[in-house]
Structure 1
Amino acid sequence: MNEQTRARLKTVSTATLCTALYKRGLKNQFIQDVRPLNPNGANMVGEAFTLRYIPAREDLNPITVFQNRDHPQRVAVEQCPPGAVLMIDSRKNARAASAGAILVTRLMVRGAAGVVTDGGFRDSPEIAELAMPAYHNRPSAPTNLTLHQALDINVPIGCGDVPVWPGDVVVGDREGVIVIPAAIADEIADEAVEMTAFEDFVMEEVKKGRGIIGLYPATDEQTRVDFAAWRAANGR
């Protein structure tokens, strides 16, 4: 990912990105029912590196599978590139954990930008204290072996009903997580920064008592004049 794009995406909200994507016909990019463990943490931006679970079959998924050095869950943690976000397809099932604090800490130490599951994490209080963004549906105490079987690494997945391809750009904030197709990430970032500047201007005007008709959206010429002056004064 272009580092300028990464920096720009850290300054915009998932809500604004949803609007920019919607203008391009992409209506299903916000991951459903996934929330930050630490809502006061920094925003998350990184390219998707994926792990896919399927329903566990008991004869193929005993606890001894973790002795296999090629176990996909462990390998995914060790292969997720620095700056990437590990995206986990847990079938929207939080009754068993996608991972726990040890594996998430390993991701953090290796330089991952974050981790997202549409299931749940065990050790969620410990994960919430880590200096890396983590998103899940809800806490999950049992081991993933109860219901999930790790199968594929870095393949297209579904996470919270959103299609995720390896290399897609993932952005997380205090509201949730959105997925941007890699091919349009640069232009989406540029547009979102512009939208954010205008929305910041509008918010200041509304707090001063200005009405929204003609202001938001900017259908009055005076709004455009005022916005241009605001940008010049604020270096935006």
Structure 2
Amino acid sequence: MKPETRDKLSRVSVATLCTALFKRGLRNQTIQDVHPVARKGRNMVGPAFTLRYIPAREDLNGIEVFKNPNHPQRAGVEACPPGAVMVMDSRKDPRAASAGGILVTRLMVRGAAGVVTDGGFRDSPEIATLDIPAYHNRPSSPTNLTLHQALEFDIPIGCGDVAVWPGDVVVGDDEAVIIIPKAIADEIADEAVEMTVFEDFVTEEVRNGKTIIGLYPPTNPETHINFAAWRTKTGR
């Protein structure tokens, strides 16, 4: 990911990115039923590194599997590159944890940009205090072994009804998480920045008493003139 793309995506909202992707016909990019464990006041941005769980089978998923150094959950945490966002497919099932405080701490120490699951996290009060953005469905205390079996990592997955391919760009804010196909991440970042500038202008106009008719969308030619003048005045 280009540093300038990462920087641009760190300054725009998921809502704005939704609209930019919708203009390109991409309607299903926001991960459903996933929320920040704690609001960080900054965006999470990074390429996706994926982990897939399947339903656990009791004869194959006892507590002893964690002794295997190649266990996909443990190995995946150690393989997640610095700057990446680990995205977990937990089949939208938060009844057992996708990970807990120790593994999320390890991701943070290794320089991961964030972690997302469509399941739940255990130790969520601890995770909330960590300096790493984390998103899940809801808190979940039982170990993942009770319901989830880690199978493989760095492969295409589904997370919250969204297809996620390794290297896709993940952006999370204090509201939601969205997946941007990596092939169009640069142009989406550029457009989202421009959209944000215009929306900031519109917000200021509305607060000053302007009607939204002709302003948003800018169907009144005067809106374009006023916007250009505002950009000059604000340096944006």
Structures share fold, TM-score greater than 0.5: yes
Q: Which amino acid aligns with 2:72?
A: P
Deviations 1:93-138 (A, max 9, x none): 0000000000000000000000000000000000011001000000
SS in 2 for 1:15: helix
Deviation, 1:47, is 0.1
Q: Which amino acid aligns with 1:70?
A: N
> After superposition, where does 1:136-175 map in structure 2 within 5 Å?
136-175=136-175
Q: In the alignment, does 2:99 pair up with 1:99? A: yes
Deviation, 1:42, is 2.0
Over the aligned positions, Cα root-mean-square deviation in angstroms equals 0.5
Distance 2:41 2:227 in 1: 31
Find runs of 4+ consecutive structure 1 residues off by over 4 angstroms. Answer: none
Corresponding residue for residue 221 of structure 2: 221
Q: In the alignment, does 2:89 pair up with 1:89? A: yes
* Equivalent pair of 2:93/2:120 in contact (CA under 8 Å): yes
Corresponding residue for residue 31 of structure 1: 31
Deviations 1:24-48 (A, max 9, x none): 0100000000000112442100000
Q: Which amino acid aligns with 2:214?
A: G
* Equivalent pair of 2:40/2:133 in contact (CA under 8 Å): no
Residue correspondences, number: 236
Corresponding residue for residue 119 of structure 1: 119
Deviations 1:143-182 (A, max 9, x none): 0000000001100000000000000000000111000000
Identity, in percent, stands at: 74
Q: Which runs of 5+ in 2 are unaligned?
A: none
TM-score where L is the length of structure 1: 0.99
Q: Which amino acid aligns with 1:148?
A: H
SS in 2 for 1:11: coil
* Equivalent pair of 1:41/1:133 in contact (CA under 8 Å): no
Q: In the alignment, does 2:38 pair up with 1:60? A: no
Distance 2:102 2:230 in 1: 48
Distance 1:42 1:129 in 2: 15
Distance 2:68 2:6 in 1: 36
Distance 1:154 1:179 in 2: 15
Q: Which amino acid aligns with 1:233?
A: K
* Equivalent pair of 1:97/1:142 in contact (CA under 8 Å): yes
Corresponding residue for residue 177 of structure 1: 177
Q: Which amino acid aligns with 1:37?
A: V
Distance 1:191 1:168 in 2: 18
Distance 2:180 2:130 in 1: 25
Q: In the alignment, does 2:48 pair up with 1:48? A: yes
Deviation, 1:234, is 1.0
> After superposition, where does 1:187-226 map in structure 2 within 5 Å?
187-226=187-226
Distance 1:39 1:153 in 2: 27
Distance 1:193 1:41 in 2: 18
* Equivalent pair of 1:96/1:147 in contact (CA under 8 Å): yes
